[in-house]
Structure formats: structure tokens, C-alpha cells
Chains A and B, each alone.
Chain A
Amino acid sequence: MEYFAKHYDIAVIGAGHAGIEASLAAARLGCRTAVFTINLDWVGNMPCNPSIGGTSKGHLVREIDALGGEMGLAADATLIQSRMLNLGKGPAVHSLRAQIDRKDYSRYMKHVLETQDNLEIMQAEIIDLYRREDKWFLKTKLEALYSADCVILATGTFLSGRIYVGDVSYESGPDGMFPAKELGTAIRKLGVPIRRFKTGTPSRVNRRSLDFSKMEEQKGDEHLVNFSFTPQTEITNKISCHIVYTNETTKQIILDNLDRSPMYAGKIEGKGPRYCPSIEDKIVRFSEKERHQIFIEPCGLDTEEIYLQGLSSSLPEDVQADFIHSIEGLEHAQVMRTAYAIEYDCVDPLALKASLEFLDYEGLFGAGQFNGSSGYEEAAAQGLVAGINAAHKILGKEPLVLDRASSYIGTLIDDLVTKGCTDPYRMMTSRSEYRLILRQDNADMRLTPIGYQIGLIGEARYNAFLEKQAQIAAERKRVEKTSIPLSDEINAILVSHETSPLKKGCKLVELLKRPTIGYAELSPVDTDRPALPAEVFEQVEIAIKYEGYIKRQEAQIKEMRRLEKKVIPETADYEAITGLRLEAAEKLAKIRPQNVGQASRISGVTPADISVLLIWLAKSGEEND
């Protein structure tokens, strides 16, 4: 029989990467918070890759850390191999990526949640959700009724989840967990615009059945960089990954069995991610490619399970085994878990505000895959913002909206709530127009002051940040003042790095502008260099080398923020605005942008519409005077 259990300020549904950051942020900001999970043993699960970071995702993790989130610290504590990707391609696209001990990560996160003040973590399946008298009510399968002022939906792939393997299909969450079926029905009943997306995961095989002598080894970096700007853990590489390739036989097996794929047979309605194609997709769409790369990634230190990155599939189990065995090095692979496609309910993110609260449902927030994104890092980033904003709502504070120029987090959320998505949204560096400024190395410079202001960054950390900032400023001054006299030594250095020798002495800063010359090269002649952390020198060097570009992007940002400051009232009645084209009025009414800048990024809204909007804004301002 139903019974009333308890009231919370904030209830979070789901303890995946979004739910974790959301509930921690809410609790840390002083709100009484509950987080519900279907299975307490899989908090922060990684049902897909056992890895965190990668291009632009590594940026997100560092931004989460800079704002006071947990993901970076957890990844540092549980990583078993780490690499900085894209070295040599430029600082804007350097990205950290680490292999994670999956179980260790989950254990770490569970314990962080368990020990967090103001936070209660519970195993319970929420089967109903409704609003009554300014409160949200959540009912569990065991008939407990909880109430909350704010609810954050972080349901991942659980919501009305359905798994497909060949012609077999059944209702399920990821990794053999229960799906949240009744909750899916309850959310549809609310009237929230729901869509079906799908994603997939490859097989796991037993390490002992693989022939590593036929594989390329991929080691971690020698010099490792922490995700967190205030590292708590000494990090080391503990494992290697490997690379194998598909071949003509693999291709033939897949092509011969395409009719047995639920995707190609049209059984799955969900929209899959373009960037995360199944192996059958890759073979069909890029038939001219002779081979595809497969990464062999260990799932942890205390398991023999190996993840086959690049082989996600929804073909029948027997076909999967056949094509795996066709690959050199995997001839005798023993499959431990079969690859599957999973279809799930998610929301059209155009129904959300930039605060991640629903436009039409007060106190209801969405985060992570539920919002149409994909990836652990994208989820965590949204969870953090949703958690902060739910807390701000409780505390009567203005919502935190990070703009596109502040961060990848801001870019991700702006893309979702302004442009929407037609397939699961993955972050990419190419999605940011300000990427020379939004680097992974300066996430703290961009976001830690905001984290401090919100209250997620403590005094000690903030003081350390201020000191770093002061060191950067002082070092910049020093290189601008310090002269390097003409000498054979300096010219020998310059010539050996294919840059022209000096004719007379010059300032240190002039030498640092040269693309092939950095602090490392100049150390023999820069004798009075103070002892500073490597990150300080890195900031100074990047700022000098890319100064022209950085200045240009800063000018663009200034221009962008001008329109971002013109706030549009939530009550705007676009259909009553004379002169607005019908298409624009419809789009604006649906998306309800918070400011003119956001409005200008909506596809189908023209500069003329923006003029009309500005006039209307001035007019309504006048009426309110």
C-alpha cells in the first residue's frame, strides 16, 4: 500500500554520470537531496567504453573539475592508462583520454555519494511522477511516495529501454538491468515531447582467449596529466591497449547477414548517433574502406573482460561470434557479453531552458542522455548545471547560464536547447567557434571564479587558483621585460630549430612568439627563469604564441555577448509581434530563447526577425516604464 515517505528539496532520478554530478552539486550547495537508482551496485556505470575523456570530452571533464564537479577527481583516482591526444595538432585540440577501471570508478562514486552531507542515495525504481500543489511527487515500485520541490531526470538509456540483438528484442536497461518502463509512461503522460533514440555497445571478450602477439600495442603517455586542476591522486599507467583490424572476411560475413540486423530490417525506430555507427553501418556506408580499426581495451585491473571498441553491433549472436573470429588476434576470442543495440526514450531538448529546467514544467529539470546527448562527459556536464540550477531555484538565486564563449559546457547546452538534435549529440571541438580560447589547459582560468562564486569551489582551492593567476601575470611581465643578448648560443638554438638567427638582442617574448621555440628550447639562455609550475609556463607560452588569434576570438566574443545581454521575457507572445515572419514566430514560440543572442542562433530566424524582435523589446520596455 502506498505510503508517504519523505520530502526533499531536490530529487534526482538516476545515478549515472549526470545524476551523480546533479545530486552532488545540489547537496553541496546546501539542498536536501535524494538520488534514486535502479541498481546501487552500478552507480556511475560505463556500459560502453571503459574510458573517460577524448577530444572535446576531455575538455568537458576539465571544465567540470574547474567548476567544482567530481568527474575529474574520480577519473584521476581510477584511471589505469592515460594519454594526451592530438599533441602536435595545437593546444586548442589537445585532449586528455584515460582508460578507467570501470568497477573501481563505480565504487569510488558510490562512496562519494554515500559520504556527501545533505545527500541520501537509495536503490528504488521510480514508477510515477506528477505535480500537485507546487510540489513534485515520486512513487517507487515498493509504493513509497516522496515529494520534492525540484526533480532532475537523469534516466540515461533506462527510460523505456529496449534491447535488440538480431531478431531477439526485449525490454531492458543497460547491462542486464531493469528498464524504467512505468516512469517512461508517466513522463509521456505529463505531456513532455518524447522521442526514441538508440545507441549500441560492442561485445566483451575474455583477455586470456586473445592473441596479443598479432596486435599493435598502444601504451599510455610517459608524462601524465591529471584531469583535475587540484590533483588528489598520483597517476600511473597500469595497462596497455591494443589495435586490431577487420578484413575482407569480416566484411563479407556482415554483408551476408545484413537481413538479420534489426536496424536494416527496420525494426528499430530509434535514431542512432551518426558518430557512433555500428560495424554493420560502417561496412555498408563506407564500403570502399578495406579495413576498420578495433581497439582492445581492458575493463579493469581485477577482471579479464576486454572491450572491443569499434565493433558495436545488433547482429544476431552467432553472426557476431563469426565476425569477431574473422579478425586476426581474435580468432579464438571467447565472447563474455554479446553486443547489443538499446533504444530508449529521451526528450526533445528544445523543450528545455538553458538552465536545463523545462520551459513548461516548473521545477522539472533534465540532464544527460535524457536530453538527447550521448557520452558520459556530456551527461556529467549537464548534470552539474542542472544540479546547480535546481539548487539556485530552491535558494532563490538566478540560474547559472554558461554562454558559448565560456566553455564547452555552455556550447553543449546552447546547441541542445537552441538547435535541438536529430540524433544523440556528441561534443566535438569543431562545434565550438571559440576553440582557441576554450582550451583544456585553461578551463580553470575560465570557470573556477564562477565555481567559487556559486560555492562549489572552496577557499583553499580558490586561493591556489588566484596564486596561479598571479604567477602567470608576473611571468608574462618578466618575459616582456627580459632581454636576451645576441650570442652564438642563442643563434645556435634558433638555427637548430629552423628559425632565423638574431642580428641583435631581443626580448624573450619575441622569441616565444616563434612557432618552433618554446620555454624548453630557451632554457639555456633564459638563466634567471623563476621556478614555477609547468602549467604557468604553458599558459604564458600559449598566450604569446596565439595572441593574434586569441585577440580576434575575444573581439568576436565581445560582439556575441552584446546580444546575449538583451533578455527576452519568458512571457513573450511571439504571435502577437507584428512583422515577425510566421516561421520565425513559430520557432521562437517553441524554443522561447532567453535572450536575443540565443534567438539569433535559431535556424530559420533571420537578421530581419532579430530587428523586429529588438524593436518589440524596446517597445515593451517602454510600456513597462
Chain B
Amino acid sequence: MKTIAAISTAPAVGGIGVIRISGEEAIAVAQKVFRAVSTTKSLAQMQGYTAAYGFVQSAGGQKLDECVALVFRAPHSYTGEDVVELSCHGGLFLLKKVLEAVFAAGAIPAEAGEFTKRAFLNKKIDLTEAEAVASIIAAQSEASAAAALSAKEGALFQKISEINESLVSLSAHLAAWTDYPEDDIEALAQEELEAVLRSAIEECEALLATFEVSQIVSEGVDTAILGRTNVGKSSLMNLICGEQKSIVTDIEGTTRDVVETSVRMGNAVLKLADTAGLRESEDTIEQIGISLSKKKAESAGLILAVFDCSKSLGEEDFALLQAIKNKRAILIYNKTDLSAVWEPDFLADYGKPVVTVSAKSRAGYEALVNAVEEALGTKDFNPYAPLLATERQKQCLGTALSCLREALAALHSGLTLDAVNVSLDAAISAFLELTGERATEKITQEIFKHFCVGK
């Protein structure tokens, strides 16, 4: 059975929070997120019923929280499998972060009552207990049904239903056309088929983007400040943070470590990392910093590229402009407090928003906030609009989207419509997973509602 994990303490503020991981891979999974400081032993070397003190880190290596890891060896655990329990300081936000890291390390989310179910299947609890478990599962499913009901009235449910309706009627048309070839049902024009698929794809992408937006609003977006040495990256960071965080210095290449901090700009939360210059340095210590910066730039969701208007643009500046060509970036025309040797218009040619700033004199901050919000799409953030809120919703929508793209690709490559329709139905199934209906039945109903078919 797969290794599962969940927060196993009540979702309330305060106290400690426990994340339970159970399954064959439990220890290997925990090993990836947990760093011991109290012992030199790894979790894999630890006996059952022993604990280690240390901290948990994210998939990216970021320290998340202090933690005590408790190791249980099969069959001597609640579930009868290998189990690791990570006791953290709590706080739902942090616990969720830790859980995310555990999932990234290879565990899958536990279903309602699954720990207990496994305990029963591994004969860890007796029959009377098992019956109680069944009641718990039932109660939890009632609760999730109630949650689903409220979601039904929500904007997201409506939006998804809308997209799905268009796909169901498309599939029903295809089905009627193939199942009733002798009834005069018009073939769907390739353009129409394509148009519906495209519009559904766009809507899915837009919805998936809301997941990003809602994440940006609640959790933040990884932001990298890039630019060659001494263009004023650290001052910009300080401008944004409003406090002295990085050292501002005239000596090139002193900002060697990536410093990370989260700040709010309008609705958006920026997770900022100051970076060492992009300059190819012969200094080995600096090079470590540079390669880290490049990596950061690749994975960043937003790039603030800084240029010094008081010095002529150099090779490194052009290389930077080239490197961020396909990234979400804002070009910052910095040091307007000094006399400029080139015009901001020059940057405008690169098709990205340009903001004129003097990081030192704190001029242009409003314009920067505005540009950031524009770029991230958080400006008009409306918490009542259809928003993807959960991983599950995102997963279902992601599946639907890839099926739709597959359908479109099949259509383009000239594959027959039966194949296109299979992808289309798979997309519908993914949508219906969110609403609990079944695709084939829905399509059948639709055929008879809208097509005059049969002898």
C-alpha cells in the first residue's frame, strides 16, 4: 500500500501539531524532510519507539519549523506499518507547509479514516473498534458531503459546471453523430470543435491561474531581484522591505548569501531573495552565490530586473534581458537620483513593464507596487470570484486541462474523432469528479434531450 500522510491533530491554533506518515516508505519520506540535531543517527538507523529532535525543511531546503520525530517500526505502530510522527510547533499554516514537504517527498494524502482502516486491515484493532471506525468514516463522509454542498453554491462550482456543460454538449453531439449516423445530425465542423476545446482550455487555464493568484495572495510568490553588480539590488530590496535587511555597499560582490524575506505589496505577497550579481566572477566564493542566483531566477515566479541608468548598459545587462525573455519580469530603471546616461524608453522595447525608481531616495515605490500587482494579476483580486482553493481542485482541473490539450492535439494531427472523443470524455470525467457525477450517464441524458434521434 502507498505511504500516506495527514495532519493528525485537530486543525486548531496553538499547542503542538502532529503529522503522521504511515506505510512502507514512511521512514524514507520522513528522512527527506527531517534534519536531526540531537543525534547523528539518521531516522533509518533509529529503533522503534525512539525520538530525535531537529527541524523540518521544505523541498527547496528551506527550514520550516523545529520538530520532534518519533519513529515506530512495523508492526508495532498504530497502523501496523512503519510510522513516523512529526511533532511541530503547530500553527495551521506551518503544518500545511510541512505536510506539503512530506507530499513532495513521496507520500500521498490519507483519505478519511485511512489510518484506522489500515490499523484494522493489519489486525491492530479488534472488531468492535473496527465498527467504530466504519462509523467515523461514515461521519467524515457526511461532513465532506456537507462541505461539497456549500461548494456547490460557490462561484467555483458554477464556473466549473459552465465549462463542463459546454464539453458535455460537445461530447453528446459527437456521440449522437456517431451513434445515429442515419439520423440527419450535422457533423461538427472542425472549427466549432476546436473553438469549444480552445475556449474550455482557456477557461481552465484562467481558473488554474486563480490558484496561482490565490496562492500569491495567501502564500506568496518566489521573487528574484536580478541585475549586474552594483545596480542597486540591495537598495531595491530595502525599498520594498522598508527596512535594512541586506547590506548596501559600493564594493562589488559583497552580497554573497541569498537572503529571503516575505513582504506584502498591495494584495500580493512577495517572497524575496536578494542575489549576488550576475557578473561572471573569478572569485570562487562569489561564484557559488552567482550559481545560486541563476537557479533562483529559473524557479522564480516573478523577476525584478534592475538596471543602473547612471552607467552605460553592458554585456551583462543585455545577457540578463535575454535570459528573462520568457519570464514574468518587471524592468527597473534605477538610480534616477543620479544623472542618467540613457533613457528608460530603451527598456520599453523589450515588451515588459518598466518602472522608474530611485531605490536610494525611495522614489517610484507606488509605481512599483502597481506594476507588481499588474504583473501578478492580484490587483483586482476578488475573493468571491471563482477561485481554486484546494490541491484536489487543482489536480482535477489540471487533469481536465491536459485531456483537453490532448483532444486538441489529436484533432490537429488528424486522428479520428473517436480518439478525440475519448480524451474529451476523460476531461469531462475529471470535472465530474469534483461534482460526483458519472460521465457516460450525463452524456446519454444530454443526447436524448437535445437530439432528435432514432427511428
Contacts and interface: CB of A to CB of B under 8 A. Distances in A.
Interface string A504-520: 00000000000110000
Given A277-B454, A581-B141, 18 more contacts: A54-B182, A55-B179, A55-B181, A88-B416, A92-B419, A202-B455, A275-B454, A277-B452, A289-B452, A295-B455, A429-B179, A430-B179, A549-B422, A611-B111, A612-B134, A615-B117, A616-B134, A619-B127
Interface in B172-195: 175, 177-184
Given A88-B416, A275-B453, A433-B425, A56 B179 contact: yes
A89 B178 contact: yes
Contact of B455 (A286, A309, A553, A615): A309
- Closest 4 A-B residue pairs measured CB to CB? A579-B134, A90-B416, A90-B418, A608-B141
18 contacts: A56-B179, A86-B181, A89-B177, A92-B418, A275-B180, A277-B454, A286-B452, A295-B182, A429-B178, A435-B418, A435-B422, A549-B422, A553-B422, A581-B141, A606-B436, A615-B117, A615-B120, A619-B127
A12 interface: no
B418 A91 contact: yes
Nearest to B453: A275
Contact of B133 (A85, A273, A546, A615): A615
A579 B448 contact: no
Given A55-B180, A312-B455, A428-B179, A608 B138 contact: yes
Contacts of B419: 90, 92, 436, 546, 549
Contacts of B438: 603
A255 B428 CA distance: 38
Interface of B: 111-114, 117, 120-121, 123, 127, 130-138, 140-142, 144-145, 171, 175, 177-184, 413-419, 422-423, 425, 436, 438-441, 443-444, 447-448, 452-455
A417 to B, nearest CB: 16
Given A55-B179, A202-B455, A429-B179, A615 B134 contact: yes
B451 to A, nearest CB: 8
Contacts of A428: 175, 179, 444, 447
A292 interface: yes
- SS class, residues of chain A in contact with chain B: loop
A41 B184 CA distance: 36
B213 to A, nearest CB: 30
Contacts of B180: 55, 275
Interface in A402-435: 419, 428-433, 435
A523 interface: no
B139 to A, nearest CB: 8
Contacts of A295: 182, 455
Given A55-B178, A56-B179, A309-B455, A515 B415 contact: yes
Nearest to A291: B184
Nearest to A427: B179
Contact of B135 (A429, A579, A614): A579
Contacts of A282: 452
B432 to A, nearest CB: 12
A578 interface: yes
B454 A276 contact: yes
Contacts of A276: 454-455
A282 B454 CA distance: 9
B119 to A, nearest CB: 10
Contacts of B418: 89-93, 429, 435-436
Nearest to B114: A611
B433 to A, nearest CB: 10
B455 A49 contact: yes
Nearest to B184: A293
A608 B447 contact: no
A89 B417 contact: yes
A515 B413 contact: yes
Contacts of A603: 438, 441
B414 A516 contact: yes
Contact of B178 (A93, A202, A309, A581): A93
A285 B453 CA distance: 11
A578 B135 contact: yes
A429 B111 contact: no
Of B133, B413, B419, chain A has the most CB atoms within 10 Å of the CB of B419
Interface string A299-343: 000000000011010000000000000000000000000000000
A618 B118 CA distance: 11
A515 B414 CA distance: 6
Interface in A542-589: 545-546, 549, 553, 577-581
Interface in A590-625: 603, 606-609, 611-612, 614-616, 618-619, 622
A619 B130 contact: yes
A90 B421 CA distance: 10
A240 to B, nearest CB: 15
B416 A89 contact: yes
Contacts of B448: 274-275
Contacts of A433: 425, 439-440
B454 A273 contact: yes
Nearest to B123: A622
A579 B182 contact: no
A233 B428 CA distance: 44
Given A86-B181, A429-B178, A580-B134, A436 B422 contact: yes
A149 B433 CA distance: 46
Given A435-B418, A436-B422, A516-B414, A615 B130 contact: yes
A49 B454 CA distance: 12
B455 A611 contact: no
A429 B117 contact: no
A217 to B, nearest CB: 14
Interface string A82-106: 0001101111110100000000000
A148 B130 CA distance: 46
A516 B142 CA distance: 52
A498 B413 CA distance: 11
B121 to A, nearest CB: 5
Interface string A121-132: 000000000000
Contacts of A608: 112, 137-138, 140-141, 144
Nearest to B113: A611
A581 B413 CA distance: 48
A121 B127 CA distance: 56
B131 A578 contact: yes
Contacts of B452: 277, 282, 285-286, 289, 292
Contacts of B416: 88-92, 515
A55 B144 CA distance: 41
B178 A612 contact: no
Contact of B444 (A93, A430, A614): A430
Of A49, A89, A95, chain B has the most CB atoms within 10 Å of the CB of A89
A18 to B, nearest CB: 20
A611 B137 contact: yes
Contacts of B425: 433
Given A436-B419, A619-B127, A579 B455 contact: no
Contacts of B117: 611, 614-615
Contacts of A277: 452, 454
Contacts of A607: 111, 141
